[in-house]
Amino acid sequence: MNIKTTLIATALATAGLALSTAHAGTSTATMPVTITIQNACNVSSVAPTTLNFGTQGPLTSAVNQTSTITVICTKSAPYNIGLDGGGSGNVNARTMVNGSNTVSYQLYSDSNRTVVWGNTIGTNTVTGTGTGSAQAYTVYGQVPAQTTPPAGVYNDTVNVTVTY
């Protein structure tokens, strides 16, 4: 009888395990994951933050300096980088001012300082195609020889615009 009870208990336990395994199951589904990337560009930096022509005496010869504009655009996105005329509003006659006194200067897109960098697409902007990574562009600045105004600090602010 003892063996019979053990056999019944074993049989019930085995059946219970089989039943619990038979009832255990899985169900699957898919989960869509998406992102939409649109063409976009950012001016990630201008370095140094100020195009500084330094401290000068009489402006009897040209003073040259450079700065770097870094942009990040989505891969394959075409873009144009424009520099406006600053306070003068004229890309061909940029000036730094101190009160009513001015110092003329110019910004160029080439190291020979012959191509004025302006903001008219198709005429005087710098073009590029995005790589998805940072791309650096050198701004070549020049204060030409000119009649030297009174001593002081002369400033201007140029807006950088990336059109894509």
Can you give the CATH number for the domain in which 136 is found? Answer: 2.60.40.1090
Give the C-alpha separation, 164 to 25, whole Å. Answer: 53
The reply to whether 10 falls in a domain is no
Q: Cβ(2)–Cβ(126) under 8 Å?
A: no
The pLDDT assigned to 23 comes to 64
The reply to whether 22 falls in a domain is no
Residue 7 has pLDDT above 50, yes or no: no
Q: Is 163 helix (H, G, I), strand (E, B) or coil?
A: strand
φ/ψ of 73, rounded to 5, equals: -130, 155
Cis peptide bond upstream of 32, omega within 30: no
Give the C-alpha separation, 155 to 108, whole Å. Answer: 18
| Domain hosting residue 64, numbered range | 41-163
Give the C-alpha separation, 38 to 155, whole Å. Answer: 37
E-only strand ranges, the chain: 41-47, 63-73, 78-83, 95-98, 101-104, 106-108, 126-129, 134-143, 160-163
Residue 74 has pLDDT above 80, yes or no: yes
The reply to whether 25 falls in a domain is no
Number of separate domains in the chain:
1
The reply to whether 103 falls in a domain is yes
Give the C-alpha separation, 4 to 43, whole Å. Answer: 85
Q: For 119-142, what is each residue's pLDDT tens digit?
A: 999 999 999 999 999 999 999 999
The reply to whether 50 falls in a domain is yes
Residue 49 binned pLDDT confidence (cut-offs 50, 70, 90): confident
